[in-house]
Amino acid sequence: MRRMPDQSLRIDHARYVVTVDAQRRIIADGSVLVENGRISRVGKASELGGARADRVIDARHFVVTPGFVNGHMHISYAHAVRGIFPDDVGSPLDSVFKLQMAMTEEEEYLTSLLGIVELVKNGTVCFVDPGSTKFPDACLQAYADAGIRVIMGDCVTDREAPFPLPRYPAAEAIGRTATFLDKWHGRLDGRLRAWAMPFSADTCTADLLRALKRLADERRTSLTLHHNSGDKARQEYQAKHGRRPTEYLESLGVVGPNVVLAHVLGIDDAEIDCMARTGTTAAMCPVTAAKGGRGVRENGRLPELLAKGVKVALGCDSPNNSNHLDIVRALNMAAIQYKDARQDMRQIPAETALELATLTGAQALGVGDEIGSLEPGKKADLVLFDTERPEWQALFNPVNNLVYNADGRSVHTVIIDGRVIVDGYRQTFVDESRLYGRVQEVGERLLARTGVSFSRSRWPIV
Ligand SMILES: [Zn+2]
CA–centroid distance, 446 to ligand 1, in Å, is 21
Q: What is the pLDDT of residue 384?
A: 98
Among 80-89, 245-254, 390-399, the least confident range: 80-89
CA–centroid distance, 72 to ligand 1, in Å, is 6
Q: Cα 423 from chain centroid?
A: 22
Handedness of CA 130, 131, 132, 137 (dihedral sign): positive
pLDDT confidence tier of residue 6, bands split at 50, 70 and 90: low
pTM greater than 0.85: yes
CA–centroid distance, 48 to ligand 1, in Å, is 43
At 237-291, the pLDDT tens digits run: 999 999 999 999 999 999 999 999 999 999 999 999 999 999 999 999 999 999 9
Cα separation, 401 vs 416, whole angstroms: 24
CA–centroid distance, 229 to ligand 1, in Å, is 15
Contacts of 109 (CB under 8 A, 6+ apart): 135, 138, 139, 141, 142
Q: What is the DSSP string of 222-281?
A: -EEEEE---HHHHHHHHHHHSS-HHHHHHHHT--STTEEEEE-TT--HHHHHHHHHHT-E
Return the percentage of the chain with pLDDT > 70, whole number: 99
Question: Across residues 17-31, what is the average pLDDT?
Answer: 98
Cα separation, 453 vs 462, whole angstroms: 19
Hey, what amino acid is at 138?
Answer: A
Q: What is the pLDDT of residue 455?
A: 83
At 414-460, the pLDDT tens digits run: 999 999 999 999 998 999 999 999 999 999 999 999 999 888 888 99
Cis status of the peptide bond prior to 397, with omega within 30 of 0? no
Return the percentage of the chain with pLDDT > 90, whole number: 89
CA–centroid distance, 306 to ligand 1, in Å, is 21
Q: What is the pLDDT of residue 26?
A: 98
191 has pLDDT over 60: yes
- Count the alpha carbons within 13 Å of 201 in the hemisphere toward its beta carbon: 26
**Could you report how far apart the first and last alpha carbons of the chain are, in Å?**
43
- Write out the E strands in 21-171: 26-35, 38-44, 55-58, 62-66, 68-70, 124-128, 149-152, 155-156
Residue 24: CB atoms within 10 Å: 14
Cα separation, 27 vs 374, whole angstroms: 11
Contacts of 328 (CB under 8 A, 6+ apart): 68, 122, 123, 357, 402, 403, 406, 407, 408, 411
Cα separation, 213 vs 209, whole angstroms: 6
357 has pLDDT over 80: yes
Contacts of 96 (CB under 8 A, 6+ apart): 77, 78, 163, 318, 320
At 93-143, the pLDDT tens digits run: 888 888 988 999 999 999 999 999 999 999 999 999 999 999 999 999 999
Question: Across residues 210-224, what is the average pLDDT?
Answer: 98
Residue 405: CB atoms within 10 Å: 15
pLDDT confidence tier of residue 1, bands split at 50, 70 and 90: very low
CA–centroid distance, 386 to ligand 1, in Å, is 32
Cα distances (Å, whole numbers) of residue 416 to 3, 94, 376, 382: 11, 36, 15, 7
* Phi, psi angles (nearest 5°) of residue 270: -65, -35
CA–centroid distance, 304 to ligand 1, in Å, is 22
Question: Across residues 13-38, what is the average pLDDT?
Answer: 98
Cα separation, 39 vs 66, whole angstroms: 11
Cβ atoms of 305 and 282 within 8 Å: the answer is yes
Question: Across residues 26-46, what is the average pLDDT?
Answer: 98
Hey, what amino acid is at 4?
Answer: M
Cβ atoms of 231 and 204 within 8 Å: the answer is no
* 3-state DSSP assignment of residue 414: strand
Cβ atoms of 53 and 8 within 8 Å: the answer is yes
CA–centroid distance, 116 to ligand 1, in Å, is 17
Q: What is the pLDDT of residue 350?
A: 98
CA–centroid distance, 94 to ligand 1, in Å, is 14
Question: Across residues 211-231, what is the average pLDDT?
Answer: 97
